[in-house]
């Protein structure tokens, strides 16, 4: 980032949320880089940027799409890069129809299921007869992926011999499709949809394009301001398309940087405490996929290019790590021990299952869903249906105390003595009281050494879950039930110290993997390329292989930064293979030479016949730039010398995604689930493939143009402050942080304050179709009314750190109570960055009257579970083209 010439921070409040990361922006700016902050509010990031561009929450794809259009129509794209490294020249099949043809839908939408059949988005294959089913890679997904089926490799693409037109003139090239798709995303559209002036758009467009190319690079930084939308994954895709067109991927000072909020949120995705993934982005098996062979074929075709083609080696090594000798050829490597998923079983679906009394027990470790999750009331009521709840935390968070001091106790909806839930509060160890590794936002693993022992009953999760596992196994020791075999055969024996704390390094060594047979038996693997699908290797997370190479904990490498170059490869260990920039082959031109001296990073060393540079090459080390291997060999061996995107099935950066995204191959602007604005681009108002949960306890506000939308006329957006941490579990119990931001507040413009009679620093009540909360009022010019579609639109900012409970140093109403649960279909993240509400002066009512207030609004707006639940806004005329369903 410090190498960037222009930094666009959008969907992130970087200076506030990642102050220390912001030092690199400060440094880049001091060197002359331009810093632009695009955000609904003027924040502490805007204060130190060169320019703040206010934007309507939920309209980012219009802005980014307009930048794409600007780049294409003014011929500002990086030709050599785009032609060589992206799929711009690849042809898409004849059946594909764009949103321009179907007024906001792509071909393949199935109204009866509400999901897309991806078949028609496939590339055009060179020889249809070669595999007999040309659209295989799309057709497999007809059963809908919904983000729960595939690992990061997405569904297989098959053999990558696709039609191309390097002149880019064929109307079915990705380039032409892209051009047409964004042709109506104009500066005027940006003005009308985002509330951004033509001058501001021009400033942004010039800054980005003037700072891209051979000599210069632009970097985008985003955070949950992009992901927390019903089209969140597509926000990031839009930026990726723009960056690929400008040649800003895989190069120093380029890229799209995700700024994540938790110490190991990256690690907990890599080694996922997530329902749909196994370690290393391997998918959880789905019901009906009954053999390991079938499972691996579903991940990657061995014929496709890149490293996913070896998914069988990664999977079998994982199964060996978990089940040891019980995972053998005869047992199909223990594949049958894995439980199966058959739909989304995410946290929100689970809470709804709780309400249906289908979940007995719930473990919460280091999270505070009563405050931090959308629709807090649903979360708390869900917990009141549990038989038992285990909360493991440092402090008595609201998720542990809702049964005696939660908002539902105050409103009378719940009575403590009626709640049958057993609650265990088990105190946890802090980060200095245990040893282990965090994976930070740039995929860097850093080891923490234990400084002191945890006090009292406090325990690490490592110790607690190890102990729990031991007891489960002991209690089942005599079982002959087949279902208990996976637990009993589990490799569950780690060395412990005298306090019973397992040795974290032993666990890390298992994650890294080892040779099981042969001369190196027992030795750690040094790279995932050593993994074999024959049971001769084990490894708990293939992408982490190498972190324990040679028996050394490389996550604990600590050569001081001042003694190393800027890449600092001897501090910690980055996956994969200690690479700091992914796809860094793209930092050199197709011939292997740096694009420019100024942006030199990796290059082909003709004499030594290998890739070299400042980083570890993210490419087969000896694959010469001009090499054209026979693609039929498949896997990494099939990568051509200019296929930098080694994890993609065709080795190219995807401008158009023929697979992997379930709501469209190209990002398209849809309005949020709740919006006071009608979609200015298409008849289709919202993302047709979004996941909706129409229920009495999860009502949606009417969208623009429908009855009752004026009852919730304002847009609210939630965010974080520097002084607090997410739901407050690690900040609201600390006096030094609490005093800095003691009370829940809302941020409104002077104009809205005048319109609603809000007093500065007085109280206001904010009402959504789910809840009403109160907050102190910060009237500030940092929030500006926007003119959108010719009318004034007010936005309200709400930090979400506070919660109602009796134990924290500071408490207050929780902004997340206002949110509903509507999810992005790719990743199932909720929409918390844009919702509809009203705001009125004064404190909210107490007790049952609070419920009456919410109900009164619902009645006035006429909201029912059906409100906003039409997947297709006007289903009649748009599905006329039946060509998409030949199967």
Partner 1 sequence: MNKLTEAPGHIPHTGHPRKGFFTDTSICIGCKACEVACKEWNRNPHNSEYELLESSYDNTGALGADTWRHVAFIEQDREHIEKARDSGRALVSLGMPGLGPPGNSDAAGKPSGVDTTPPETPDFRWLMSSDVCKHCTNAGCLDVCPTGALFRTEHGTVVVQDDVCNGCGTCVAGCPFGVIERRSDGTAGVKAERDFTPGEQAPTRNVGVAQKCTLCYDRMVDGQTPACAQACPTTSIKYGEREELVSTARQRVAELHAQGLTEARLYGANDADGVGGTGSVFLLLDEPEVYGLPPDPRVPTADLPRMFKRAGIAAAGMLAATAAAFLAGGRR
Partner 2 sequence: MSRFSFLEWPVVRQLRSGDSLGRGEAVTSPRTRDIAPRTSTADRVVQSVCPYCAVGCGQRVFVKDEKVVQIEGDPDSPISRGRLCPKGSASEQLVNAPSRQTKVLYRAPHAKDWQHLDLDTAVDMVADRFLAARRNNWQQNDEHGRPLRRTMGIAGLGGATLDNEENYLIKKLFTAAGAIQLENQARI
Of 174, 164, 217, 171, nearest to 33 by C-alpha is: 217
Interface residue with partner 2, options 312, 433, 642, 870 (CB under 8 A)? 433
Minimum gap (Å) between residue 571 Cβ and partner 2: 5
Interface residue with partner 2, options 1, 92, 219, 419 (CB under 8 A)? 419
Minimum gap (Å) between residue 455 Cβ and partner 1: 5
Interface residue with partner 2, options 111, 302, 324, 427 (CB under 8 A)? 427
Q: What share of the chain is helix, strand, coil (3-state, %, to 5)?
A: 30, 15, 50
Minimum gap (Å) between residue 416 Cβ and partner 2: 5
How does DSSP assign 496-554, residue by residue? B-TTS-B-HHHHHHHHH-EE-SSTTTTSBPS-GGG--TTSSEE-S-GGGTTTTGGG--G
Binding positions for partner 2, 456-495, rule CB under 8 A? 456-462, 464-469, 471-472, 475-476, 483, 486-487, 490, 492
Interface residue with partner 2, options 93, 272, 617, 664 (CB under 8 A)? 272
List beta partners, residue 444.
574
447 and 429 Cβ atoms separated by less than 8 Å: no
Q: Which residues contact 406 (CB under 8 A, 6 or more apart)?
A: 370, 380, 398, 414, 804, 805
Alpha helices in 103-231, H assignment, sequence order: 136-139, 174-181, 187-194, 198-210, 224-227
754 binds partner 2 (CB under 8 A): no
Binding-site ranges for partner 1 (CB under 8 A): 15-16, 19-20, 22-23, 26, 30, 42, 44-48, 51-52, 455-456, 458, 721-723, 735-743, 745, 760-761, 776, 778, 780-782, 809-810
Which listed option, partner 1, partner 2, none, makes contact with residue 166 (CB within 5 to 8 Å by class)?
none
512 binds partner 2 (CB under 8 A): no
Nearer Cβ to partner 1, position 610 or 776?
776
For residue 310, the number of C-alpha atoms closer than 13 Å in the C-beta half-sphere is 22
The token pair at 721 is 């402050």
Binding positions for partner 2, 774-813, rule CB under 8 A? 807-809
Interface residue with partner 2, options 139, 146, 541, 646 (CB under 8 A)? 541
Print the binding letters for residues 642-681 with partner 2: x by CB under 8 A, - otherwise: ----------------------------------------
Q: In 10 A of CB 872, how many CB atoms?
A: 18
290 binds partner 2 (CB under 8 A): yes
Burial string for 372-408 (b: 16+ CB within 10 Å, else e) reads: bbbbbbbbbbbbbbbeebbbbbbbbbbbbbbbebbbb
Alpha helices in 228-310, H assignment, sequence order: 232-245, 267-270, 292-299
Nearer Cβ to partner 1, position 428 or 711?
428
Nearer Cβ to partner 2, position 156 or 436?
436
**What are the two backbone dihedrals, phi and then psi, of residue 702, each rounded to the nearest 5 degrees?**
-65, 145
Nearer Cβ to partner 2, position 315 or 765?
315
Minimum gap (Å) between residue 735 Cβ and partner 1: 4
Interface residue with partner 2, options 827, 851, 853, 879 (CB under 8 A)? 827
873 binds partner 2 (CB under 8 A): no
How does DSSP assign 751-765, residue by residue? HHHHHHTPPTTSEEE
List beta partners, residue 823.
691, 830
Distance CA 884, CA 887 (A): 8
Interface residue with partner 2, options 142, 355, 359, 787 (CB under 8 A)? 359
353 binds partner 2 (CB under 8 A): yes
Nearer Cβ to partner 2, position 430 or 523?
430
Helix axes 198-210, 60-73, angle to 10 degrees: 60
Nearer Cβ to partner 1, position 20 or 477?
20
Which listed option, partner 2, partner 1, none, makes contact with residue 306 (CB within 5 to 8 Å by class)?
none
Minimum gap (Å) between residue 804 Cβ and partner 2: 17
295 binds partner 2 (CB under 8 A): no
Widest distance between CA atoms in the chain: 80
According to DSSP, the β-strands at 514-515 and 763-767 are unpaired
Count the residues of the shown chain that bind partner 2, applying the rule CB under 8 A.
162
405 binds partner 2 (CB under 8 A): no
Minimum gap (Å) between residue 346 Cβ and partner 1: 33
800 and 771 Cβ atoms separated by less than 8 Å: no
291 binds partner 2 (CB under 8 A): no
Minimum gap (Å) between residue 403 Cβ and partner 2: 7
Minimum gap (Å) between residue 41 Cβ and partner 1: 11
Which listed option, partner 1, partner 2, none, makes contact with residue 780 (CB within 5 to 8 Å by class)?
partner 1
Minimum gap (Å) between residue 25 Cβ and partner 1: 9
Helix axes 232-245, 60-73, angle to 10 degrees: 20
723 binds partner 2 (CB under 8 A): yes
The token pair at 360 is 């007995």
Distance CA 804, CA 807 (A): 9
Which listed option, partner 2, partner 1, none, makes contact with residue 778 (CB within 5 to 8 Å by class)?
partner 1
Distance CA 775, CA 758 (A): 11
Which listed option, partner 1, partner 2, none, makes contact with residue 411 (CB within 5 to 8 Å by class)?
none
Nearer Cβ to partner 2, position 343 or 865?
343
441 binds partner 2 (CB under 8 A): yes
275 binds partner 2 (CB under 8 A): yes
Three-state DSSP state, 96:
coil
Nearer Cβ to partner 1, position 251 or 260?
260
26 binds partner 2 (CB under 8 A): no
867 binds partner 2 (CB under 8 A): no
Which listed option, partner 2, partner 1, none, makes contact with residue 742 (CB within 5 to 8 Å by class)?
partner 1
Nearer Cβ to partner 1, position 41 or 443?
41
List beta partners, residue 391.
364, 425
279 binds partner 2 (CB under 8 A): yes
Which listed option, partner 2, partner 1, none, makes contact with residue 272 (CB within 5 to 8 Å by class)?
partner 2
Distance CA 424, CA 618 (A): 47
Minimum gap (Å) between residue 263 Cβ and partner 1: 17
576 binds partner 2 (CB under 8 A): no
Minimum gap (Å) between residue 278 Cβ and partner 1: 36
Nearer Cβ to partner 2, position 68 or 823?
823
Q: In 10 A of CB 491, how many CB atoms?
A: 16
Instruction: Convert 780-837 into a string of H (helix), E (strand) and C (coil).
Output: CCCECCEEECCEEECEEEEECCCCCCCCCCCCCCCHHHHCCCEECCCCCCECCCCEEE
Minimum gap (Å) between residue 450 Cβ and partner 2: 7
Of 172, 241, 76, nearest to 666 by C-alpha is: 241
Interface residue with partner 2, options 519, 560, 790, 887 (CB under 8 A)? 560
Distance CA 442, CA 825 (A): 25
Of 794, 797, 806, nearest to 732 by C-alpha is: 806
Distance CA 10, CA 15 (A): 12
Minimum gap (Å) between residue 311 Cβ and partner 2: 18
Which listed option, partner 2, partner 1, none, makes contact with residue 210 (CB within 5 to 8 Å by class)?
none
Binding positions for partner 2, 298-327, rule CB under 8 A? 322
142 binds partner 2 (CB under 8 A): no
CA dihedral 227, 230, 231, 236 (to 10 degrees): 0
436 binds partner 2 (CB under 8 A): yes
Torsion-angle region of 489 (φ positive above 0: left; ψ -120 to 50: alpha; else: beta): alpha
């Amino acid at each position: 980032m410090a190498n960037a010439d222009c930094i666009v921070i959008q969907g992130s409040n970087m200076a506030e949320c990642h102050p220390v990361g912001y030092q690199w922006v400060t440094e880049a700016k001091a060197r002359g880089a331009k810093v632009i902050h695009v955000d609904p509010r003027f924040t502490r990031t805007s204060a130190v940027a060169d320019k703040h561009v206010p934007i309507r929450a939920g309209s980012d794809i219009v802005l980014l799409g307009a930048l794409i259009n600007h780049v294409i129509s003014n011929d500002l794209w990086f030709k050599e890069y785009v032609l060589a490294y992206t799929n711009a020249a690849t042809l898409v099949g004849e059946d594909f129809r764009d949103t321009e043809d179907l007024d906001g839908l792509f071909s393949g939408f199935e109204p009866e299921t509400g999901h897309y059949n991806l078949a028609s988005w496939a590339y055009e294959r060179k020889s249809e007869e070669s595999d007999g089913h040309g659209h295989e890679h799309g057709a497999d997904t007809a059963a809908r992926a919904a983000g729960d089926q595939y690992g990061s490799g997405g569904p297989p693409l098959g053999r990558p011999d696709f039609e191309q037109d390097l002149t880019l003139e064929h109307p079915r090239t990705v380039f032409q499709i892209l051009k047409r798709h964004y042709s109506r995303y104009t500066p005027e559209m940006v003005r009308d949809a985002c509330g951004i002036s033509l001058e501001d758009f021009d400033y942004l467009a010039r800054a980005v394009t003037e700072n891209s190319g051979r000599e210069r690079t632009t970097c985008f930084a985003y955070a949950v301001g992009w992901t927390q939308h019903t089209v969140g994954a597509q926000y990031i895709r839009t930026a990726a398309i723009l960056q690929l067109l400008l040649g800003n991927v895989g190069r120093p000072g380029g890229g799209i940087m995700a700024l994540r909020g938790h110490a190991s949120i990256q690690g907990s995705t890599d080694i996922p405490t997530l329902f749909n993934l196994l370690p290393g982005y391997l998918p959880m098996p789905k019901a009906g996929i009954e053999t390991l062979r079938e499972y691996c074929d579903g991940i990657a075709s061995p014929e496709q290019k890149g490293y996913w083609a070896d998914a069988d080696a990664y999977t079998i090594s994982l199964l060996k790590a978990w089940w040891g000798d019980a995972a053998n050829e005869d047992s199909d490597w223990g594949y049958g021990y894995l439980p199966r998923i058959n739909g989304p079983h995410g946290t929100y679906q689970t809470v709804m299952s709780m309400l249906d009394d289908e979940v007995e027990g719930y473990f919460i470790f280091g999270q505070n869903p009563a405050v931090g999750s959308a629709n807090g009331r649903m979360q708390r009521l869900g917990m009141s249906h549990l038989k038992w709840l285990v909360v493991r935390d440092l402090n008595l968070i609201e998720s542990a105390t809702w049964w005696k001091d939660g908002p539902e106790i105050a409103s009378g909806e719940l009575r403590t003595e009626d709640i049958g839930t057993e609650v265990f509060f088990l105190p946890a160890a802090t980060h200095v009281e245990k040893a282990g590794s965090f994976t930070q936002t740039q995929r860097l693993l850093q080891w923490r050494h234990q400084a002191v022992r945890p006090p009292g009953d406090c325990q690490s999760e490592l110790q607690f879950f190890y102990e729990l596992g031991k007891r489960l196994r002991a209690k089942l020791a005599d079982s002959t039930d087949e279902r208990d075999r996976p637990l009993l055969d589990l490799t569950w024996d780690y060395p412990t110290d005298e306090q019973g704390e397992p040795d974290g390094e032993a666990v890390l060594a298992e994650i890294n993997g080892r040779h099981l047979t042969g001369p190196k038996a027992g030795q750690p693997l040094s790279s995932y390329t050593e993994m074999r699908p024959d049971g001769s290797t084990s490894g708990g997370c293939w992408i982490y292989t190498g972190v324990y190479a040679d028996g050394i904990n490389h996550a604990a490498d600590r050569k001081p930064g001042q003694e190393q170059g800027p890449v600092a490869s001897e501090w910690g260990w980055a996956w994969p293979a200690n690479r700091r920039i992914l796809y860094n082959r793209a930092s050199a031109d197709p011939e292997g030479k740096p694009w420019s001296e100024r942006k030199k990073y990796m290059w082909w060393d003709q004499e030594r016949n290998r890739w070299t540079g400042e980083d570890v090459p993210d490419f087969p080390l000896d694959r010469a730039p001009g090499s054209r291997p026979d693609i039929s060999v498949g896997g990494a061996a099939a990568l051509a010398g200019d296929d930098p995107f080694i994890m993609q099935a065709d080795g190219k950066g995807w401008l158009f995604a023929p697979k992997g995204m379930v709501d469209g191959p190209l990002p398209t602007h849809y309005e949020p689930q709740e919006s006071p604005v009608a979609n200015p681009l298409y008849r289709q108002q919202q993302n047709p493939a979004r996941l909706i949960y129409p229920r009495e306890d999860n009502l949606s506000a009417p969208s623009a143009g429908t009855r009752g939308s004026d009852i919730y006329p304002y847009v609210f957006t939630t965010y974080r402050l520097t002084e607090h941490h997410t739901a407050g579990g690690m900040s609201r119990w600390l006096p030094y942080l609490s005093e800095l931001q003691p009370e829940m507040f809302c941020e409104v413009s002077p104009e809205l304050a005048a319109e609603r009679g809000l007093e500065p620093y007085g109280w206001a009540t904010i009402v959504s179709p789910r809840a009403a909360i109160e907050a102190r009022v910060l009237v500030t010019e940092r929030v500006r009314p926007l003119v959108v579609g010719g009318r004034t639109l007010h936005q309200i900012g709400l930090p979400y750190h506070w919660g109602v409970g009796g134990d924290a140093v500071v408490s207050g109403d929780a902004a997340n109570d206002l949110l509903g649960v509507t999810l992005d279909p790719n990743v199932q993240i909720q929409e918390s960055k844009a919702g509809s509400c009203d705001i009125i002066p004064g404190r909210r009512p107490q007790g049952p009257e609070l419920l009456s207030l919410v109900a009164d609004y619902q009645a006035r707006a006429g909201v029912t579970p059906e409100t906003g639940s039409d997947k297709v806004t006007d289903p009649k005329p748009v599905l006329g083209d039946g060509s998409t369903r030949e199967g």
